[in-house]
């Protein structure tokens, strides 16, 4: 599933008449970049949700060689509610969730393949791709998570700086949504519950990754890609 229903408020004025996942980077929309990587690893059943200018998202998806299904979201359900509403289209097996504004470059192995290969259905409710805070440019705050030696995720304690940020990709087992609330809610609600059960894990990205929150971030990424100034996040 690709999450493309957000309002992209921090990216204004670029998103005043266009969804954030349709903003261009390196000659293609962010959504096309994500779908390209999904298609490249052979995932055949893809769902995209849309809310802000949904007809634009539908047009981009329809023009692709293998058009994904588009679910119009009304009202907006946030990340957790959006995935919950798409569950009937995703089936009973673990599935990939990608933020529609996520942009990454693979390391030696395609990132989606790395996530799938690392996911342990018996031990994990979700496996998140994370990036080291030291490799992220721009205003990103204090970090999201810490990892233990096995990759198990926890939140930072008070005054503790977390060294990892969520990179916008995750493999999820449908049981993560058991007992999920109705209405709009964030994936963080379910992640916190999985953390309590020791079932949320992280995988550190080994390629390049770009934080794309504001127009300045987008210009910085465009310049880095144009000049080849990208580096692995080892």
Give the pLDDT of residue 135: 64
* pLDDT value at 228 more than 80: no
Give the pLDDT of residue 191: 97
Q: Is residue 226 very low, low, confident or very high in pLDDT (cuts 50, 70, 90)?
A: confident
d(CA 119, CA 19): 31
Mean pLDDT calculated for residue range 198-212: 94
Whole-number CA gyration radius for the chain: 17
Mean pLDDT calculated for residue range 200-224: 92
pTM: 0.91
pLDDT tens string 132-183: 986 666 555 678 899 999 999 999 988 888 999 999 999 999 999 999 999 9
d(CA 147, CA 218): 29
- Comparing CA positions, the residue from 42, 46, 66 lying closest to residue 3 is 46
**Residue ranges per structural domain of the chain:** 2-227
Measured CA to CA in angstroms, residue 131 lies from 66, 147, 186 at distances of 30, 11, 20
CB count in 10 Å sphere of residue 25 = 17
CB count in 10 Å sphere of residue 142 = 11
Pairing of strands 103-105, 24-25: unpaired
Give the pLDDT of residue 140: 55
d(CA 8, CA 62): 22
Pairing of strands 146-147, 153-154: antiparallel
Q: Is residue 232 very low, low, confident or very high in pLDDT (cuts 50, 70, 90)?
A: very low
pLDDT tens string 24-77: 998 899 999 999 999 999 998 999 999 999 999 999 999 999 999 999 999 999
d(CA 163, CA 204): 11
- Decide if domain 2-227 falls under CATH 3.90.550.10: yes
Partners of residue 207 on adjacent β-strands: none
């Amino acid at each position: 599933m690709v999450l493309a229903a957000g309002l992209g408020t921090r990216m204004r004025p670029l998103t005043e008449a266009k969804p954030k996942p349709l903003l261009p980077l390196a000659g293609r929309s962010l959504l096309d970049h994500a779908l390209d990587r999904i298609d490249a690893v052979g995932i055949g059943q893809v769902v995209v949700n849309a809310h802000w200018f949904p007809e634009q998202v539908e047009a981009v998806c329809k023009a692709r060689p293998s058009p994904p299904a588009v679910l119009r979201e009304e009202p907006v359900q946030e990340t957790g509610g959006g995935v919950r509403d798409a569950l009937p289209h995703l089936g009973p097996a673990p599935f990939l969730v990608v933020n529609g504004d996520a942009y990454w470059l693979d390391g030696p192995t395609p990132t989606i393949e790395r996530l799938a290969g690392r996911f342990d259905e018996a031990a994990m409710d979700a496996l998140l791709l994370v990036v080291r805070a030291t490799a992220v440019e721009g205003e990103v705050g204090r970090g999201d998570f810490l990892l233990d030696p096995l990759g198990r995720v926890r939140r930072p304690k008070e005054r503790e700086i977390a060294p990892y940020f969520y990179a916008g990709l995750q493999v999820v087992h449908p049981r993560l949504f058991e007992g999920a609330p109705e209405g709009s809610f964030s994936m963080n609600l379910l992640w916190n519950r999985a953390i309590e059960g020791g079932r949320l894990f992280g995988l550190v990205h080994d390629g390049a990754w770009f934080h794309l929150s504001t127009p300045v971030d987008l210009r910085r990424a465009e310049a880095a890609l144009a000049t080849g100034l990208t580096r692995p996040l080892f």
